[in-house]
Amino acid sequence: MANVIAFACLLVVAMDVLAGVLAIEAEAAKNKAQKSSKSLACKELRNHSFELALAATVLLALAHVSSNLLGGCICICSVDEIEQSSSNRQLWFACLVSSWIVAAVGFPMLVFGMLENLKLQGSCRFLHPHFLLIGGGLCFVHGLLCIILYVSSVVSFKRDKAGGREARPR
């Protein structure tokens, strides 16, 4: 069972890395389209950039949903519960919140970069040049947070199953 969960974690990280690479490739295709003097080549590159950005957006969304399902769900209802819980559980909670923040910023960045390709149908001039690049970088950060989320949840849940559920000393 542990091997299956570890494989699933690696799959989530691979989705994040692939999303980041696709977003950076989409940014490069968009830059090539902007520098292209031929309108047909510009259109093809812009469409290719859109497809890459769409794939990156879908992969980030899938990775985020998968990592939250894989990381488990612990109900933390108050600040006192967080302060009294173990350091592993606090790390889990910090990574969970951070992954939501990174996804909440990265997903719109990828969507804005992708929609910019649709908005400028007749032109190859782009107004906001770095949405896809920033979104791609956030995909890599999300992958790192997913690894930490997975490891801290495994350690925390193993400790709870072993009966070592103790409050952190103040």
- Residue 127 vs residue 19, higher pLDDT: 19
Q: Which of 170, 167, 148, 151 is nearest to 86 (CA)?
A: 167
Phi-psi sector, 126: left (phi>0), alpha (psi -120 to 50), beta: beta
Q: Which of 113, 102, 94 is nearest to 137 (CA)?
A: 102
CA–CA distance, 128 with 147 (Å, rounded to integer): 31
Map tokens 């009966």 to a residue.
Answer: 163
Is the model's pLDDT at 24 over the cut of 90? yes
Token couple for 108: 């719109």
Map tokens 């957006």 to a residue.
Answer: 57
Q: What would the pLDDT profile of 71-117 be if each residue is shown by its tens digit?
A: 665 555 556 666 677 777 778 888 888 999 999 999 999 999 888 87
pLDDT class of 168 with cuts at 50, 70, 90: very low
3-state helix, strand, coil in the chain (%, to 5): 80, 0, 20
The arrangement of secondary structure in 2-161, i.e. its CATH architecture, is Up-down Bundle (1.20)
Mean pLDDT of all residues in 55-70: 89
Q: What pTM was computed for the model?
A: 0.80
Q: What is the DSSP code (8-state) at residue 71?
A: T
Q: What is the DSSP code (8-state) at residue 118?
A: H
Q: What would the pLDDT profile of 118-163 be if each residue is shown by its tens digit?
A: 776 666 666 667 889 999 999 999 999 988 888 887 777 666 666 6
Provide the terminal-to-terminal Cα distance of the chain, rounded to the nearest Å. 36
Residue 67 neighbours by CB distance under 10 Å: 26
What one-letter code names the amino acid at 1? Answer: M
User: Domain ranges in the chain?
Assistant: 2-161
Q: Which of 154, 157, 149 is nearest to 95 (CA)?
A: 149
The pLDDT, as a whole number, for residue 166 is 46
CA–CA distance, 115 with 109 (Å, rounded to integer): 10
